[in-house]
Amino acid sequence: MATAETRVHVAEFKNEPFVDFSRPENKRSMEAALKKVEAEIGREYPMYIGGEKVITTAKMTSTNPSHPKQMIGVFQTATAEHADQAVEASAKAFETWKRVPAERRVEIAFRAAEIIRERKFEISALICAEVGKSWIEADADTAETIDFLEFYGREMLRFAGQHPVTPQMGEKNYLIYIPLGVGVVIPPWNFPAAIAAGMTVASLVTGNTVILKPSEESPTVAAKVVEILYEAGIPRQALNFLTGAGEIVGDALVKHPKTRFIAFTGSKEVGLLISEAAGKKTPGQIWIKRAVLEMGGKDATIVDEEADIDAAVEGVAAAAFGYQGQKCSACSRAIVSEKIYDTFVEKLVDRAKKITVGPSEDPGNYMGPVVSSMAMEGILGYIDVGKKEGKVVLGGERAPGDGYFIQPTIIANVSPKARVAQEEIFGPVLAVIKARDFDHALEIANDTEFGLTGAVYSRNPEKIEKAEEAFHVGNLYLNRKCTGAMVGAHPFGGFNMSGTDSKTGGKDYLLHFLQAKSIAEKVSN
């Protein structure tokens, strides 16, 4: 076994640069990638169980939310029996994969990162088509995918080998980290490459085997990630791929006695169901399952009267309406000092009026569609509630087009206790709330069951210091927007109903997928 002194040394981690689409060559590359994706639409993708392709009679499809009649991919519909087979196959593969040296597992992660880097435009184009991200948002998703692979690879090298402990006379003693077993990875659709790859590779690089069950809204991107991981060298037996309904397949995977852990990103409601199911011992289960949960948010930006109002307007607009507000980190509440409230709202409305909405393959559109007809109906329902709870000063309706387009919507004069100020909407809807002073703003910001991200705009150092201590969120941003966490720089995860504060992209994230083993040997003098 490698010791800490003999571990592989790699270059210091650096975030993957974003693509500059103002450069003609990059614009042409993205346009070509979109055409390639269009030429491949309708392709059928298999499941993989125990290294074998699996085709089912029942099928499910993925469509383009910008053009709902356009089918992106055809997928298999797994049953609970398939889930059982996948867990059993993963448990068998674990006995081999866990013995693969960490350095080899890391090499595969780095190779996968290189393949994605080489196919960056293709992956981004597919993200754009399947979940409606703009060019810039899709590129950020792809860059984060690369970042996760590179970062977690380096972190595994840090955790590999023997770790020193307090010496004891007459003993040789040290600590090692070993994998857990079979992991179930259930990613969301809103970061279909980054989160799917991030949770999967964090599990694999630490020596666990994985069953990846993607969201029904984004199976094509997940299938591409799986293909790339296989190409990079992940054994097909170590990574199983199942597609199907979460309430059937996901439920069976979570409850299986040989499932050791579940890594989930998604809604509060589903996360709580997983937490409850994972906490119940089933016949044959010999461990306490771990549940690594990243859930929702009702994220607030506080705008103080001593803030740079124009900077705050830009930050709030970007965080509220970037990717149509479909980020758990999105700003859905702007809490503004009453001294500048009217000015802020006026400036924000003027800024948001400039936002263009339309098909995501058109780089001229800042906002694309929401992900599905169901999402659109839910968001429009919340807007109807908001019309009764406050004053709609911008938007409030569907936007033109065949896709699932919704206007950027700002609702002013909202009570802190209103539904649109308390419940996660996951769409381009912003509630603007008036605060008496900074302390009142903090009180409003913390008066929610969530605690994911938050931002504060103020030039007053004492207020900034107070926010650092009192604003109860996992990721706090000062004088900048509350979205756009970067791997390594902003370990991501929240408090309360926002999840288990897993801190993806952070130095202790891999510990969720490892367990420590202390070894002491008596030695002669």
Indicate the SS3 state at residue 521.
strand
Choice among 294, 305, 389, 424 that is catalytic: 294
Structure tokens at 202: 């964090």
Cα 305 from Cα 197, distance rounded (Å): 42
Q: Are 46 and 53 in contact (CB under 8 A)?
A: yes
Q: What are the start-end ranges of the H helices in 268-308?
A: 268-278
Cα 491 from Cα 484, distance rounded (Å): 11
Question: Catalytic annotation on 122?
Answer: no
Return the number of other C-beta atoms located less than 10 Å from residue 170's C-beta. Answer: 10
Q: Are 70 and 63 in contact (CB under 8 A)?
A: yes
Cα 305 from Cα 337, distance rounded (Å): 6
Question: Catalytic annotation on 294?
Answer: yes
Q: Which of 235, 210, 205 is nearest to 222 (CA)?
A: 210
Q: How far is CA 421 from the centre of its chain?
A: 23
Amino acid at 219: P
Q: For 137-155, give one letter per residue: b (16+ CB within 10 A) or e.
A: bbbbbbbbbbbbbbbbbbb
Choice among 328, 361, 389, 424 that is catalytic: 328
C-alpha count within 13 angstroms, C-beta hemisphere, residue 328:
29
Q: Are 150 and 165 in contact (CB under 8 A)?
A: no
Q: Which of 203, 31, 205 is nearest to 111 (CA)?
A: 205
Q: Which of 282, 260, 261, 125 is nearest to 193 (CA)?
A: 125
How distant, in Å, are the alpha carbons of 142, 280, 293 from that of 202? 17, 25, 14
How distant, in Å, are the alpha carbons of 161, 346, 351, 445, 481 from that of 343? 58, 5, 12, 21, 19
Give the chain's count of helices (H) and strands (E). Answer: 15, 22
Residue 108 β-bridge partners: none
Q: Are 445 and 293 in contact (CB under 8 A)?
A: no
Amino acid at 71: M
Q: What are the start-end ranges of the H helices in 40-134?
A: 80-97, 102-118, 120-131
Burial of residue 74 (number of CB atoms within 10 Å: 0-12, 13-18, 19+): middle
Give the active site residues.
294, 328
